[in-house]
Amino acid sequence: MLYTLAFILGGIWGSFCNVCIYRLPLEKNIIKGRSFCPLCEKQIKWFDNIPFLSIIFLRGKCRSCKVKIDLQYFFVELISAISFVLIYYLYGISITTLLLIILTIFFIIIFFIDIKHYIIPNELTFPLMFIGFIKSFDPNLNQSLFPNYINSLVGGLFGYSIIWLIIFFYKNLRKKEGMGLGDAKLIAVVGFWFGWFSIPFTIFISSLVALIYSVPSLIKKTSDMSTQIPFGPFIIIGCLVYITFANQIKNLFL
């Protein structure tokens, strides 16, 4: 029953993630106003807004204008639901579970906003920095995953500084923008949440995944080394890999 509840709650929060993914880049209020079809702007009835089920019953089309519903809505809800179940499976009912659920919700929103709009809103990174640092004062948290407040502070500053330096030197050498400060803030989030040791690993994995992602288009010459790509999703992937293997990584290097 608890796994089912976790799945349902994940789907509900996934639906909220979809609202944020659509509204935050447009600077619209994410709380006020009911959901509506982006094309015909008709309000969506409650029975057409049930996670997973509604899109199936509607056969993937808006009830009013019959335009296909973006599959992103379904996948976001599914990713959120599965994430909730996995976190509960690993950490049970605990503060660690609550914290990782909060991080998951923010990461899902950042992931899809950056893919679509190439931005990472401060409204998402600043609260994550604050939560990541404040939680580090609790000595009862999972010490193998979360750092103490000194490690957290060093991690946040180290993460931001290293990306800021990359941006600074790239801009001065190439005379154009490279990465954005949103990426620096997201790396800072990783540092505040998981300490300084998570930064080099996350940057390495995210860069590796970004390279693998870019290689096919470089070979086909549909893009070049100056083509803009959203780096936020790769940072999130790198962070998730670190979280998954945190103990093994620390035992290997420390």
| pLDDT tens profile 149-158 | 999 999 999 9
Percent residues over pLDDT 90 in the chain: 59
pLDDT of 253 reads: 67
In sequence order, what are the residues at sequence separation of 6 or more whose Cβ sits closer than 8 angstroms to the Cβ of residue 115?
Answer: 230, 233
**Residue-range domain boundaries for the chain:** 1-93, 122-254
State the pTM of this model.
Answer: 0.90
Residues 153-192: pLDDT tens digits?
Answer: 999 999 999 999 988 887 788 767 667 789 999 999 999 9
The SS3 of residue 100 is helix
User: Which of 24-28, 154-158, 216-220 has the highest average model confidence (pLDDT)?
Assistant: 154-158
Residues 94-138: tens digit of each pLDDT? 999 999 999 999 999 999 999 999 999 999 999 999 999 999 999
Helix axes 2-23, 72-91, angle to 10 degrees: 140
Specify the pLDDT at position 127. Answer: 96
Q: Rounded to an integer, what distance in angstroms lies between the CA atom of residue 44 and that of residue 21?
A: 17
Residue reference for tokens 């970004």:
210
* 3-state percent breakdown (helix, strand, coil) of the chain, nearest 5: 70, 0, 30
Closest CA to 201 of 149, 143, 241, 161: 241
Question: Confidence band (pLDDT; 50, 70, 90) for 202?
Answer: very high
**Among 135, 136, 115, 113, residue whose Cα is nearest residue 124:** 113
- Encoding tokens for residue 110? 């950042």
Residue type for position 201:
F
User: What confidence tier does 239 reach under pLDDT thresholds 50, 70, 90?
Assistant: very high
Average pLDDT of the segment spanning 195-213: 92
pLDDT higher at 232 or 71? 232
Question: What is the Cα–Cα distance from 229 to 114, expressed in whole angstroms?
Answer: 9
Q: How many CB atoms lie within 10 A of CB 213?
A: 13
Has residue 242 got a pLDDT over 80? yes
pLDDT in tens, 46-79: 666 778 788 877 777 777 787 787 788 899 999 9
Question: Does the pLDDT value for residue 39 go beyond 80?
Answer: no
Going by pLDDT thresholds of 50, 70 and 90, the confidence category of residue 148 is very high
Q: Nearest-CA neighbor of 182 among 100, 124, 241? A: 124
Helix (H) or strand (E) holding 75: helix 72-91
pLDDT of residue 251: 73
Give a three-class secondary structure readout of 162-204.
HHHHHHHHHHHHHCCCCCCHHHHHHHHHHHHHHCCCHHHHHHH
Spatial separation of the C-alpha atoms in residues 50 and 167, rounded to whole Å:
43
Tell me the pLDDT of the chain averaged across its residues.
Answer: 87
